[in-house]
Amino acid sequence: MSEQAGVSIEDVRRVAELANLELTPEEEPRMQRDLNAILKHIAQLNELDTKDIPAMAQVGEMLGGAAHEWGETLREDAVRPSIDRAAVMAVAPETDGRFFKVPKVIER
Amino acid sequence: MDLTIDAVRAGVADGSATATAVAEMHYSRIAANDGVEGKGINSFLALGKERALAQAAKIDSMAAKGEELPVLAGVPIGIKDVLAMQGAPATAGSLILKDYRPPYDATAVTRLEAAGAVLLGKLNCDEFAMGSSNENSAYGPVRNPRALDRVPGGSSGGSAAAVAANFAVATLGTDTGGSIRQPAAFCGVVGVLPTYGRVSRYGLIAFASSLDRVGPFAKNVKDAATVLQVLAGQDALDATSSDRPVDDYVGLMAKPVEGLRIGVPKEYFGEGLDPEIRAAIEGVLDGLKGAGCVIKPVSLPHTKYAIPTYYVIATAEASSNLSRFDGVRFGLRDAEAKTLSEMFRRTRDAGFGAEVKRRILLGTYALSAGYYDAYYRKAQQVRTLLTRDFLTAFLDVDALVAPVTPTPAFKLGEKTDDPVKMYLEDIYSVAASLAGVCGISVPCGETKAGLPIGVQVIGKHFDEGTMFRVAQAVEAGQGQA
């Protein structure tokens, strides 16, 4: 981990862009300070040697037994009723009834 | 505290009460003391009287006809605002979902109503369940009913406070790193973290999907077991729900604890634990010993790494889950934006609060090119070690007993300036979250200043039965203190 280097304002802006967040000039230094403080705390993990330790994504993989017991099965790929389109479109910000409408995608 | 599930159901069944009158009584308490103008507890964000009273009328008509009543008949229950109820608001404590009304019910909601519960409304919480004090809600903090200048805990602060204030007989909350157990301890009520995979999460607004769990708050252990019995079990709509059979929690709870081996993890009693809480937990252990339990010291050696591990994994998952809030399909949209990407950014900037942005940024950073192995993969490896700690300890003991929190409820505003200090609030709760085991917070006394103290009973994966059994003994022991 490169916590020694720390997170710069440019890093904060780059990550904000990746996350589609627009930070105000006032928010940027606060976020920089907080991220550095949290990452410093997280750097404690470097004390542990994890060379041969498997990475764990879900608890089921640690417990053995059949996948379905741990909720790791996929349902049958079959057609079944879903929520009515009109009900879904009714809560959308802008639609034509069939599709979601958005501002233009490509800037010219 | 007054009405329990048994009392409501029995009253409705024998005609001495009606579900409608019980619901109206709770609504009048909410009207009198919850308030919307910044002075009350501020636990409810929305009331769904129409749906609740229709359900109450249905129960009353069943009772009038002498039909057998379902287990939660007429029981008024509140729902954390991260769970969907068709047509009702589901803000998740965020401005970005201010006007969102989901067109479907969460499975937990469906199951409660099918069991006869009367769902009163939606409960305040930290924004997207991110917080330990309920101060991150866009709709104002919740006050602790036991001390109005203090936080109720979080993120399910509204759910804990509503039970403590007798606005509901039980409530639903969610727990990702402690968000049920910690507010239960702060407010002096019972709160349950079920095993990962035990309760369906269909209809839950996701925060960190490998950690999020839905569970009940109640006034006593039996009520909590009764509600979990209704919630538990496989759901075809949630691929992560387990098909393992559900135990008879209320039956198992009543079994004597004699001969059970109780582990006491030494890492949970270190520096930073409030002396009054330590003394209360020691009292609980003495009581269990008196009831015939074998008390054994155990070690969960990686405990100190739980918080840093959690804040990598939870934020990484959150950064992915919260990308769906983009102004396209539901919720807020910035109407001024000229292009799609500008619309995404401006919508998210206006809709998300500071803590949510902080966690999205941290999670995005941890997953970004060049850092993935150092942060996310490393944290997943340490998560393996933390889980092994529990699996090893459970070879020798049947349940663990530990504090829930290092301190009692703190004052509103006391920790809002320092995120790391706030995160350390979760020091005794996050390890169980990462390991997927079940846990419960049970009231076990109060401080000299009158603040509630909670004790945590942690059970093996899918062994809620033993967890409730120990919890019931703890609760019974309180009466004799």
Taking one residue from A and the other from B, the number of pairs with CB-CB distance under 8 angstroms is 193
pLDDT of residue A58: 84
Whether B179 is a known active-site residue: answer yes
User: What is the rounded distance in angstroms from the CA atom of residue B164 to the CA atom of residue B123?
Assistant: 13
Structure tokens that stand for B430 in this block: 């996050």
Distance CA B202, CA B235 (A): 8
Rounded CA-CA distance B347/B326 in Å is: 7
Three-state DSSP state, B44: strand
Task: List, in sequence order, every residue forming a beta bridge with B191; answer none if it has no partner.
Answer: B217, B441
Q: What radius of gyration, in Å, describes the C-alpha atoms of chain B?
A: 21
- pLDDT digits over A70-87, tens only? 766 777 788 988 899 999
Condensed to tens digits (0 to 9), the pLDDT of residues A37-68 reads 999 999 999 999 999 999 998 888 888 777 77
Which residues of A fall within a CB distance of 8 Å from B337? 103
- Among residues B132, B179, B200, B433, the one annotated as catalytic is B179
Q: Which residues of A touch B439 (CB under 8 A)?
A: none
A76 vs B265, more confident: B265
Return the residue in A32, A62, A104 with the most chain B beta carbons within 10 A, the one to mutate for interface testing.
A62
Told to judge if B155 belongs to the known catalytic residues of this protein, a careful annotator would answer: yes
Query: Which token pair is B108?
Result: 């937990």
Task: Looking at the complex, report in whole angstroms how far the Cα of residue A58 sits from the nearest Cα belonging to chain B.
Answer: 6
Percent of chain B residues past pLDDT 90, beyond the cut: 94
Determine the average pLDDT of the residues in B229-238: 95
Parallel/antiparallel/unpaired status of strands B118-123 and B452-459: unpaired
**Tens digit of pLDDT for each residue in B413-470?**
999 888 888 898 899 999 999 999 999 999 999 999 999 999 999 999 999 999 999 9
pLDDT at residue B36, as a whole number: 56
Among left, alpha and beta (phi > 0; psi -120 to 50; other), residue B432 is alpha
pTM to 2 decimals?
A: 0.96
Provide CATH code, domain B5-253: 3.90.1300.10
Nearest to B117 by CA among B68, B170, B45: B170
Of A90, A100, A104, the CB nearest to B339: A104
Provide the residue ranges of all domains of chain B, joining segments of one domain with +: 5-253
Q: Each residue of B293-341: pLDDT tens digit?
A: 999 999 999 999 999 999 999 999 999 999 999 999 999 999 999 999 9
- Please provide the distance, in angstroms rounded to a whole number, between the alpha carbons at the two ends of chain A: 40
- For residues B27 and B49, the answer to whether their CB atoms sit within 8 Å is yes
Structural contact between residues B161 and B185, judged by C-beta atoms closer than 8 angstroms: no
Mean pLDDT, to the nearest integer, of B81-94?
97
User: Nearest-CA neighbor of B229 among B251, B205, B204?
Assistant: B251
Q: Among partner residues A16, A41, A69, which is closest to B308 by beta-carbon distance?
A: A41
Task: Say which residue, B264 or A3, is predicted with more confidence.
Answer: B264
Residue B75, classified by CB atoms within 10 Å of its CB into exposed (0-12), middle (13-18) or buried (19+), is buried
Neighbour count for residue A4 (Cβ, 10 Å): 7
**pLDDT value at residue A2:** 42
The Cα–Cα gap between B224 and B310 comes to 27
A98-102: average pLDDT = 94
Distance CA B202, CA B333 (A): 25
* Alpha carbon of B244: minimum distance to chain A alpha carbons (Å): 5
Please state at what angle helix B306-321 crosses helix A27-42, rounded to 10 degrees. 130
B197, A71: Cβ pair inside 8 Å? yes
Active site residue B80: yes
